[in-house]
Amino acid sequence: MAIKIRTDKLKFYRRKIFDLWNTYKKNKLGIFGLFIVGFFVAIAIFGPYVAPYDPYAMGIPRQKPSPEHWLGTNDVGQDILSEVIYGTRTSLTVGLIAAVLTVLVGTVIGLVAGYFGGGVDDLLMRFTDMVLSLPDLALMIVLIAYGGRSIWNIILVIAIVSWTSTARMVRSQVLSLKERSFVEAARAIGSGDTHIILRHILPNVMSIVLPLTIMSVVWGILTEAGLAFLGLGDLTIKSWGTILYYAAYRGGFILKAWWWIIPPGLCITFTALGFTLIGYALDEVLNPKLRR
Amino acid sequence: MGLREYAIKRGVHSFATFLVVLVVNFFLPRLMPGDPIARFMPGEGATQDVWKKLYRDFGLDQPLWVQFVLYLKNIFQFRPLSGPLPIPIPSPNLGVSFFYRETPVLTVLLERLPWTIFLFGTAYALSIVVGVVIGAIAAWRRGGKTDVSILSTSLFLRSMPIFWLAMIMLLIFSYYLDLFPISGAYTPPIPKTITWAFIGDVLWHSTLPIITLTLYLMGTPAFLTRNVMIDALTEPYVLTAKAKGLKGRTILFKHALRNVMLPIVSYSAILMAFVVGGGVFTETVFGWPGVGREIFLAYLNRDYPVIQGAFFLIGVSVILANFIADIAYGFLDPRVKY
Give A54-113 pLDDT, tens digit per residue.
888 888 888 888 888 888 888 887 888 999 999 999 999 999 999 999 999 999 999 999
For residue B298, name the pLDDT band (cuts at 50, 70, 90). Answer: confident
Residues A225, B161: contact at Cβ < 8 Å? yes
Residues B315, B194: contact at Cβ < 8 Å? no
> Is residue A179 predicted with pLDDT exceeding 60?
yes
The arithmetic mean of pLDDT across residues A26-37, rounded, is 90
Identify the bridge partners of residue B194 per DSSP, sorted by sequence position. none
A-B contacts at Cβ under 8 angstroms:
122
The arithmetic mean of pLDDT across residues B67-79, rounded, is 82
Predicted local confidence at residue B322, as pLDDT: 79
Buried b or exposed e, range A186-195, using 16+ CB within 10 angstroms: beeeeeeeee
CA A95 – CA A191 distance, rounded (Å): 37
Residues B226, B233: contact at Cβ < 8 Å? no
The arithmetic mean of pLDDT across residues B38-45, rounded, is 60
For residue B334, name the pLDDT band (cuts at 50, 70, 90). Answer: low
Least Cα separation, residue A97 to chain B (angstroms)? 19
**B16–A133 C-beta distance less than 8 A:** no
Residues A4, A238: contact at Cβ < 8 Å? no
Predicted local confidence at residue A5, as pLDDT: 66
Residue B176 is given by DSSP the state I
Stretch among A215-219, A257-261, B31-35 having the lowest mean pLDDT: B31-35
Cβ of residue B158 closer than 8 Å to a chain A Cβ: yes
For residue A263, name the pLDDT band (cuts at 50, 70, 90). Answer: very high
- Contact residues, chain B, for A268 at CB < 8 Å: 160-161, 164
Better pLDDT: B40 or A222: A222
User: H/E element holding A280?
Assistant: helix A258-286
Cβ of residue B208 closer than 8 Å to a chain A Cβ: no
CA A88 – CA A242 distance, rounded (Å): 12
Predicted local confidence at residue A117, as pLDDT: 84
Predicted local confidence at residue B333, as pLDDT: 64
CA B17 – CA B12 distance, rounded (Å): 9
> Is residue A116 predicted with pLDDT exceeding 70?
yes
For residue A292, name the pLDDT band (cuts at 50, 70, 90). Answer: very low
Residue B170 is given by DSSP the state I
- CB count in 10 Å sphere of residue A241: 32
The arithmetic mean of pLDDT across residues A225-244, rounded, is 89
Stretch among A58-67, B153-162, B327-336 having the lowest mean pLDDT: B327-336
> Is residue A290 predicted with pLDDT exceeding 50?
no
User: H/E element holding A156?
Assistant: helix A151-162
CA A272 – CA B165 distance, rounded (Å): 14
For residue A176, name the pLDDT band (cuts at 50, 70, 90). Answer: confident
- Contact residues, chain B, for A164 at CB < 8 Å: none
Q: Please give the share of chain A, as a percent, with pLDDT higher than 90.
A: 36
What mean pLDDT value characterizes chain B? 81
Nearest to A93 by CA among A236, A220, A250, A280: A220
* A232: closest chain B residue by CA: B299
**A231–B159 C-beta distance less than 8 A:** no
Q: Is A69 exposed, middle or buried (0-12, 13-18, 19+ CB in 10 A)?
A: buried
CA B270 – CA A136 distance, rounded (Å): 11
Predicted local confidence at residue A291, as pLDDT: 44
Interface of B with A in 243-302 (CB under 8 A): 273, 276-278, 280-281, 284-285, 295-296, 299-300, 302
Counting every residue, how long is chain A? Answer: 292
CA A204 – CA A197 distance, rounded (Å): 10
CA A56 – CA A42 distance, rounded (Å): 21
The arithmetic mean of pLDDT across residues B221-249, rounded, is 84
* B29: closest chain A residue by CA: A146
> Is residue A1 predicted with pLDDT exceeding 70?
no
Cβ of residue B228 closer than 8 Å to a chain A Cβ: no
Each residue's pLDDT tens digit, B242-295: 888 888 788 877 777 777 777 787 777 767 666 665 578 889 999 999 888 888
Stretch among A101-115, A249-263, B32-46, B272-286 having the lowest mean pLDDT: B32-46
Interface-testing mutation among A32, A40, A142, A259, with chain B (most B C-beta atoms within 10 A): A142
> Is residue B85 predicted with pLDDT exceeding 70?
no
> Is residue A166 predicted with pLDDT exceeding 70?
yes
Predicted local confidence at residue A101, as pLDDT: 95
Interface-testing mutation among A122, A129, A133, A224, with chain B (most B C-beta atoms within 10 A): A133
Predicted local confidence at residue A8, as pLDDT: 78
Question: Which residues have a Cβ under 8 Å from the Cβ of B96 and sit 6 or more positions away?
Answer: B42, B50, B54, B102, B103, B104, B105, B305
- DSSP string covering B120-140: HHHHHHHHHHHHHHHHHHHHH
Cβ of residue B148 closer than 8 Å to a chain A Cβ: no
Least Cα separation, residue A18 to chain B (angstroms)? 29
The arithmetic mean of pLDDT across residues A22-50, rounded, is 90
- Contact residues, chain B, for A273 at CB < 8 Å: 155-156, 159
CA A238 – CA A91 distance, rounded (Å): 9
Cβ of residue A130 closer than 8 Å to a chain B Cβ: yes
Residues A234, A74: contact at Cβ < 8 Å? no
CA A271 – CA A99 distance, rounded (Å): 14
Predicted local confidence at residue B278, as pLDDT: 56
Beta-carbon-side half-sphere exposure of residue B302 (alpha carbons within 13 Å): 10
For residue B44, name the pLDDT band (cuts at 50, 70, 90). Answer: low
Each residue's pLDDT tens digit, A199-209: 888 888 888 89
* A126: closest chain B residue by CA: B13
Cβ of residue B175 closer than 8 Å to a chain A Cβ: yes
- Contact residues, chain A, for B32 at CB < 8 Å: 146-147
The arithmetic mean of pLDDT across residues B155-166, rounded, is 90
Phi–psi pair at B80, nearest 5 degrees: -70, 135
- Contact residues, chain A, for B163 at CB < 8 Å: 226, 229, 244
- What three-state secondary structure class fits B142? coil
CA B27 – CA A113 distance, rounded (Å): 27
For residue A242, name the pLDDT band (cuts at 50, 70, 90). Answer: very high
**A262–B168 C-beta distance less than 8 A:** yes
Among candidates A130, A225, A253 on the partner chain, residue whose Cβ is nearest the Cβ of B171: A253
CA A71 – CA A62 distance, rounded (Å): 10
Predicted local confidence at residue B330, as pLDDT: 67
**B16–A222 C-beta distance less than 8 A:** no
For residue B124, name the pLDDT band (cuts at 50, 70, 90). Answer: confident
CA A16 – CA B200 distance, rounded (Å): 64
